[in-house]
Amino acid sequence: MRFLNILLFVTLGFVTTQSMAQNSLGSLTGDERDLYAQTKQVNQFFKRFNNEEDRFGKTYNPDDENYRDNDFRLTYLNMLFDNQNPLISKELRKEFIKTVSNENEPIFLDFHGDLWFAELATTFTFNKAKETPILFLKLEAENLGYKWVITNVYFDKFLKHFNKGEKFGIEKSFLHPMSHELDFMNIYKVFKDVKYSEYYADKSFKPDYKSILFYELKKGNLTFESAGNLKFHFFQVDGWYFELSYFNRPGPNAGWLISKLYKISEKEKNELLQFYLP
C-alpha cells in the first residue's frame, strides 16, 4: 500500500543549487536577492518551473533566447522546494530535476493541461454540526477560457454510509436470478437493511459524493461556512507525483513550494487519481 503513504507523509528537503546555473545567473548582475524572491503565486510557480520569466518576474517571449533556457531553469528548479524539511533525499530531488531538465527531452508543466488538482479544505455546517469536507478541483475548458470545477469530495460523514460491512452481509445481499418470475416480490430485501443496500447495485456502482454534496446543499442540511488550507497535486511528470503547498514565513524560501515528492508507477498513479476524479 505504498501509494497511501504518498498521500499521507514525507516532505521534501534541501539540495544545493547546481554550480553551473549559479555561475550563469551570477554573471547577470549584482544583487541576486530578487532572483530568490518568494514564489507568491501559483502561476509564477509554473513560470519558474519552466523558466518562462526573468529574475524580476517579467515573462519571456517564446522567441527570447532565455525562454526555457536550461541553465537558468536548473537554478529555478532548485528554488522551488521547501528547503526547511530534510526528509527528502538529495538523490531523489536531483533525479527529479535531472528528469524534467533533460536537454534532449525536457518536461514542462502545463497550466491548462490535465493531471493537476487543487485540494481545498472547507468548513460546513452539516445537520447543525461544524464539519470539514475536502474539495478537489481542476481546470476545465469552457468556450474560449477555463474555469475551476469540483471533481470529487472527501467527507467522512458521507463515506461512512458506504462501508462494505461484514462478510455475512455480502453473502446474503443479492436477488435470486429467478426473482423476475416472482414479480420481484423479494425487492424488499434491498431496503430492509440499508447497511447492505449498495450490494444490490451493479458491479460498476461507485458512490458519487459530488451529487450527495449538492443534494444536501439543496435540502438545506449542508451550509457553507468558509474555505481554508489550499494545496495542489501534480501528476504531469510521468513516473512522479509532487505536492505544492504555501509556506508563509520570512525569507526567500517561502510562498508556493514543492512540499512532497515521490516516484510512482503507472498503477500507483491510477490508484491515486481516484482520490481526485469521480
pTM over 0.85: no
Q: Give the C-alpha distances (Å, rounded to integers) separating 92 from 101, 233, 263.
A: 14, 18, 8
Residues 232/117, Cβ–Cβ less than 8 Å: yes
For residue 86 the three cell numbers come to 530534510
Q: Is pLDDT of 52 > 60?
A: yes
Q: Where are the domains of the chain?
A: 2-114+235-273
Residues 21/238, Cβ–Cβ less than 8 Å: no
Residues 73/238, Cβ–Cβ less than 8 Å: no
The pairing of strands 134-142 and 116-126 is: antiparallel
Task: Name the band, by pLDDT with cuts 50, 70 and 90, for residue 213.
Answer: very high
Neighbours of 227 (CB within 10 A): 11
In sequence order, what are the residues at sequence separation of 6 or more whose Cβ sits closer than 8 angstroms to the Cβ of residue 96? 237, 240, 242, 261
Of 257, 251, 256, which is closest to residue 37 (Cα–Cα)? Answer: 251
pLDDT digits over 226-262, tens only? 999 999 999 999 999 999 999 998 888 899 999 999 9
Neighbours of 12 (CB within 10 A): 27
